[in-house]
C-alpha cells in the first residue's frame, strides 16, 4: 500500500544528476567502509612497515618467557602463547586472509553466475545437468572432500586452499543465481526484449543479469567472512596453511581454547575480521541500493 502511494508521489520529483557515483558520494557510510577497506588493503600490501609502527616489525620474533601477556606499551595487542606480538601477527595475517577470502568469493561468484544463469535462463537439459551437479557437491561432506583434495595436492599455498574452498562453496551461490534468474526470466520485459528480436547475449547481459544480481551480491559479501573462518578450520585440521604461515584463521583457531583465561588472544584477530566483513557487507548493500534506480533520489 505505501509503495503504491510512494510511486504516485514520485513524478513530482525533478530528475537531476542521478548517476551511481553522485548517489554514492552523498552516503557517509560509503566513505567510512571504503576507508576501512583502504586501510586493510594498505596493511595487506605493506605489513612490515605497519607492524613496525609500534616497534615490533617481526611477527616471528617470539619470546616464550613473555607468553600470553596483556596489551602493554611494548606489545600494543599483547602477546600470544608463544610470546609473539599479536599486533604484528594480525598485520602480517591480513594479506593471506584477505587474499583467501576475496579470491574464493570472486571465484565462486564467477562460477555461480555462469552456471546459474545458464541453468536458470535456458532451463531444460542445461538446468538438469547444472542442478544435479550442485546437488552432488552439496551432498558431499565439505571437510572430507577438502581433506582428500588438499592431501593429494602437492603444494599447499594460500592459492590452493582458496581454490579448494571455492571448489566446494560455489553450489549454494549457484542455486541462488539460478532461482533469481528464473524469476527475472519470467518478467515481461525479458519477453518483450526477446519479442524485439534481441540476441540472447544482449538479453542476458543487458536485462537478466543486472536484475538478478541483487540478492546474489548480498550473500556473496557475507561469504567472505565465512571463507576466512573456513580456512582456519582446514588449517586447524592440518590440511590448510602450514606453519609458519600466518593468517587470522590460524590465530583464531589457536586462541579459541584460551578465551576464558586470555581473551585478548581472540579479541584482536576477530576485531579485524569483523571490521572486514562488516565493511564489505555494508558496501555491498550501499552499492546495491545505488545500482537500483529506486534507491537513488
Partner 1 sequence: MTTPVLTVRNLAIDFLVGGDRVPAVHAVDFDLHAGEVLAIVGESGSGKSVTSLAVLGLLPGNARASGEILVDGQNVLGASEKVLSGIRGRKVSMIFQDPSNALDPVFTVGYQILEMLKRHRPQLTAAQRRERAVELLRMVELRDPEDRLDYYPHQLSGGQAQRVMIAMALACDPEVLIADEPTTALDVTVQREILDVLRRLQQRTAAAILLITHDMGVVADLADRVVVMRRGRVEETAPVQRIFGCPEAEYTKALLAAVPRLGAAHRASTAVPHERPVLEIADLVVEYRNRRGRAMRAVDGVSMDIRAGEMIALVGESGSGKSTIGKSALGLAPLTEGHIVIDGVDLATASRSQARALKKRIGVVFQNPTAALDPRRTIGQSIGEPIRVHERLRGGALSARVDRLLEAVELPASWAGRYPHELSGGQRQRIAIARAVSLEPMLLIADEPTSALDVSVQATVLELLRTIQGNLRFACLFISHDLAVVDELCDRVVVLHRGKIVEQGDRHTVLTAPEHPYTQRLLAAAPVPDPVEQARRRNESVAAL
Which residues are at the interface with partner 1 (CB under 8 A)?
A: 1-2, 4-11, 13, 15, 18, 187-189, 191-198, 202, 206-207, 210-211, 291-294
The nearer residue to partner 1, 88 or 184, going by C-beta atoms, is 184
The nearer residue to partner 1, 75 or 185, going by C-beta atoms, is 185
The nearer residue to partner 1, 3 or 73, going by C-beta atoms, is 3
The nearer residue to partner 1, 15 or 139, going by C-beta atoms, is 15
Taking the complex as a whole, how short is the minimal distance between the CB of residue 201 and partner 1, in angstroms? 11
Taking the complex as a whole, how short is the minimal distance between the CB of residue 178 and partner 1, in angstroms? 18
Taking the complex as a whole, how short is the minimal distance between the CB of residue 112 and partner 1, in angstroms? 21
Taking the complex as a whole, how short is the minimal distance between the CB of residue 207 and partner 1, in angstroms? 5
Q: Which of 57, 38, 37 is nearest to 47 (CA)?
A: 57
Taking the complex as a whole, how short is the minimal distance between the CB of residue 288 and partner 1, in angstroms? 12
Locus of grid cell 562488516: 278
- CB-based burial label for 178 (10 Å; 0-12, 13-18, 19+): buried
Taking the complex as a whole, how short is the minimal distance between the CB of residue 279 and partner 1, in angstroms? 25
The nearer residue to partner 1, 2 or 260, going by C-beta atoms, is 2
The nearer residue to partner 1, 71 or 123, going by C-beta atoms, is 123
Amino acid at each position: 500500500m505505501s509503495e503504491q502511494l510512494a510511486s504516485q508521489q514520485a513524478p513530482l520529483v525533478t530528475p537531476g544528476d542521478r548517476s551511481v557515483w553522485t548517489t554514492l558520494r552523498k552516503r557517509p557510510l560509503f566513505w567510512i567502509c571504503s576507508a576501512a577497506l583502504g586501510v586493510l588493503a594498505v596493511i595487506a600490501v605493506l605489513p612490515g612497515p605497519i607492524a613496525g609502527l609500534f616497534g615490533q616489525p617481526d611477527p616471528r620474533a617470539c619470546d616464550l618467557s613473555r607468553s600470553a601477556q596483556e596489551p602493554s606499551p611494548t606489545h600494543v595487542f599483547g602477546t600470544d602463547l608463544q610470546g609473539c606480538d599479536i599486533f604484528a601477527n594480525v598485520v602480517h595475517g591480513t594479506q593471506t586472509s584477505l587474499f583467501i577470502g576475496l579470491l574464493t568469493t570472486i571465484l565462486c561468484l564467477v562460477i555461480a553466475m555462469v552456471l546459474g544463469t545458464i541453468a536458470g535462463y535456458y532451463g531444460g537439459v542445461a538446468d538438469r545437468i547444472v542442478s544435479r551437479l550442485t546437488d552432488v557437491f552439496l551432498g558431499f561432506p565439505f571437510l572430507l572432500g577438502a581433506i582428500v583434495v588438499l592431501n593429494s595436492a602437492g603444494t599447499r599455498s594460500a592459492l590452493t586452499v582458496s581454490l579448494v574452498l571455492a571448489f566446494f562453496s560455489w553450489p549454494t551461490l549457484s542455486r541462488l543465481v539460478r532461482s533469481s534468474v528464473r524469476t527475472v526470466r519470467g518478467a515481461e520485459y525479458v519477453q518483450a526484449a526477446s519479442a524485439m528480436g534481441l540476441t540472447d547475449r544482449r538479453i542476458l547481459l543487458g536485462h537478466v543479469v543486472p536484475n538478478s544480481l541483487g540478492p546474489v551480491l548480498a550473500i556473496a559479501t557475507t561469504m567472505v567472512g565465512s571463507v576466512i573462518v573456513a580456512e582456519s578450520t582446514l588449517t586447524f585440521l592440518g590440511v590448510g596453511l602450514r606453519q609458519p604461515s600466518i593468517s587470522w584463521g590460524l590465530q583464531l583457531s589457536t586462541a579459541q581454547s584460551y578465551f576464558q583465561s586470555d581473551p585478548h588472544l581472540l579479541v584482536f584477530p576477530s576485531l579485524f575480521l569483523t571490521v572486514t566483513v562488516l565493511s564489505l557487507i555494508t558496501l555491498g548493500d550501499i552499492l546495491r541500493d545505488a545500482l537500483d534506480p529506486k534507491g537513488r533520489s
